[in-house]
Structure 1
Amino acid sequence: MSEVFMFLSLNEGGVPVTLVYQLAEELRRDPGQVLLVQSLTLDKNRPLLGLKGAFGLFGSKEWWANIEQRVMPTKQLSGVIVKTYYSGQDGDMPDNTMDLLLEGGAICTEGIYVHDEEDVGFYQVGSRVDIFYAFDPLKDKNSSRDKSGASKVVIEVAISPGSVSV
Structure 2
Amino acid sequence: MNDMKYSMKSVFELADELRANPARVELTQALTLNASKPSMGLKGSMGLFGSPEWWEHIGSGMMPSKRFSGVIERAYYAGQGGTGPNNMVDIITDEGRPESIGIYVNNPADVQLFKIGHRVEIVYALDELKQQPGPDGEVNYSKVAVKMAVSTQPVK
What TM bracket, shorter-length normalisation? Answer: over 0.9
Q: Which amino acid aligns with 1:129?
A: V
1:68 to 59, 62, 85: 59
Q: Could you tell me how far 1:13 is from its partner in structure 2?
A: 7.0
Q: Which amino acid aligns with 2:8?
A: V
Cα distance in 2 between the residues matched to 1:94 and 1:119: 11
Map 1:13-24 → 2, pairs under 5 A = 14-24=5-15
Q: Which amino acid aligns with 2:6?
A: V
Structure 1 equivalent of residue 87 of structure 2: 96
Query: What secondary structure, in the 3-state scheme, does the structure 2 residue paired with 1:26 have?
Result: helix
Q: 1:146 to 1:106 in 2, by over 3 A?
A: farther
Structure 2 equivalent of residue 164 of structure 1: 155
Matched, 1:27 2:18: yes
Q: Could you tell me how far 1:75 is from its partner in structure 2?
A: 2.1
Aligned-CA RMSD value: 1.9
Once the two structures are superposed, residues 45-77 of structure 1 have per-residue CA deviations (whole angstroms, 9 ceiling, x without a partner) of 000000000100000000000000001001221
Q: Could you tell me how far 1:22 is from its partner in structure 2?
A: 0.6
Cα distance in 1 between the residues matched to 2:111 and 2:137: 26
Q: 1:151 to 1:145 in 2, by over 3 A?
A: farther
Cα distance in 1 between the residues matched to 2:153 and 2:26: 38
Query: What secondary structure, in the 3-state scheme, does the structure 1 residue paired with 2:72 have?
Result: strand
Q: TM (normalized to structure 2)?
A: 0.92
Q: 1:146 to 1:53 in 2, by over 3 A?
A: same
Structure 2 equivalent of residue 80 of structure 1: 71
Query: What secondary structure, in the 3-state scheme, does the structure 2 residue paired with 1:25 have?
Result: helix
Cα distance in 1 between the residues matched to 2:34 and 2:114: 38
Gaps of 5+ in 1: 1-11
Cα distance in 1 between the residues matched to 2:154 and 2:69: 14
Matched, 1:149 2:110: no
Structure 2 equivalent of residue 51 of structure 1: 42
Q: 1:155 to 1:137 in 2, by over 3 A?
A: same
Q: Could you tell me how far 1:146 is from its partner in structure 2?
A: 10
Cα distance in 1 between the residues matched to 2:137 and 2:50: 23
Cα distance in 1 between the residues matched to 2:84 and 2:39: 33
Runs of 4+ in 1 over 6 A off after TM superposition: none
Query: What secondary structure, in the 3-state scheme, does the structure 1 residue paired with 2:130 have?
Result: coil
Contact 1:138 1:144 survives alignment (8 Å): no
Cα distance in 1 between the residues matched to 2:6 and 2:135: 33
Q: TM (normalized to structure 1)?
A: 0.87
Aligned positions, number: 154
Query: What secondary structure, in the 3-state scheme, does the structure 2 residue paired with 1:109 have?
Result: strand
Cα distance in 1 between the residues matched to 2:135 and 2:55: 21
Query: What secondary structure, in the 3-state scheme, does the structure 1 residue paired with 2:122 have?
Result: strand
